[in-house]
Amino acid sequence: MTDTDRDPDRDQETAPDLPAGEARDGDSRCGFVAVMGAPNAGKSTLVNTLVGTKVSIVSPKVQTTRTRVRGVALHGPAQIVFIDTPGVFKPQRRLERSMVAAAWEGAADADQVLVVVDANRGLDDDTRSIITGLRGQGRTDCLLALNKIDTVRRDSLLALAAALDAEGVFRTVFMISALKADGTGDLLAALAREALPGPWMFPEDEVSDLPQRLWAAEITREQVFRQLHQELPYAALVESESWQERADGSVRIDQVIYVQRDSQRAIVLGKGGSRIRAISTAARQEMSTLLERTVHLFLFVKVHDRLWDDRRHYAEWGLDYDA
């Protein structure tokens, strides 16, 4: 996925007198940052804000992110690769165990770990579990981003920051609102300063390493969750079956939405096909905007009662079936 919507002023403001190529060849820096947190803490929103365009889907449902998605941000001579990990929680099913394992693998592989905490939820059981796990990995120099600060009273916010600081795994605390991009500039600048000297790992115009087929499937899955927030459980899967480039510059994408029961298929289709048309329209419009080209999207709904017992789906998303 390449850079089509990144804010063009971001890098000019940080290093106006230093051409990007010269910075990269001379004193370039690169760092990998694992973004961890409890489900729905705002990790994906934060990564999208820092990168400057959408690389991870966002929905009101928790556990929306299922695997590690890497987003690439630039700040002066520094390239920061964010690993947006699934939310960490107490897993009960195979898929959940695979998701949590992917999050911890992301933390182990990163230069830095940034923990996002929803200021409204505070120091809950999921966050405590993350802190315990970080101690177990010997991580006592993590960064903390207190998110959604615009929704919490200042005295409560300061008390929460003090309580988290006392846990002994955080060395710096940032107060942010990822949705409003408040405080995120300071966070990005700090991460850029701490990036290690070395060459960039991705081309300058690349914002994510997620293959286009998977990215397109995620856009549609986001719409499924957004439009069927109450009716449909998490066990839906979207697969891009074909991607056909057309001579006029447009692209045809055929996707299958898998559900586990006939009753769920009826929900996704809606009365007279109304719901599937609405999902298709919203997903197609977003794909067209982000790809800057016409997209012809065709959706099909199929039932697969043992959907998450299929190793193929785990392998496609880089998840460990046996976690």
The helix or strand, by DSSP H or E, that contains position 288, with its residue range, turns out to be helix 274-291
Amino acid 262 reads D
β-sheet bridge partners, residue 44? none
- Integer CA distances (angstroms), 272 to 16, 254, 268, in order: 55, 20, 11
DSSP class of residue 126 equals H
Annotated binding site for GTP: 37-44, 84-88, 147-150
Nearest one of 312, 311, 313 to 322, comparing CA atoms:
311
Sign of CA dihedral 45, 112, 188, 131: positive
Q: What is the number of other CB atoms lying within 10 angstroms of the CB of residue 228?
A: 18
Amino acid 130 reads I
Pair 317, 66: CB distance under 8 Å: yes
For the record, the structure tokens of 166 come out as 């006392």
Annotated binding site: 37-44, 84-88, 147-150
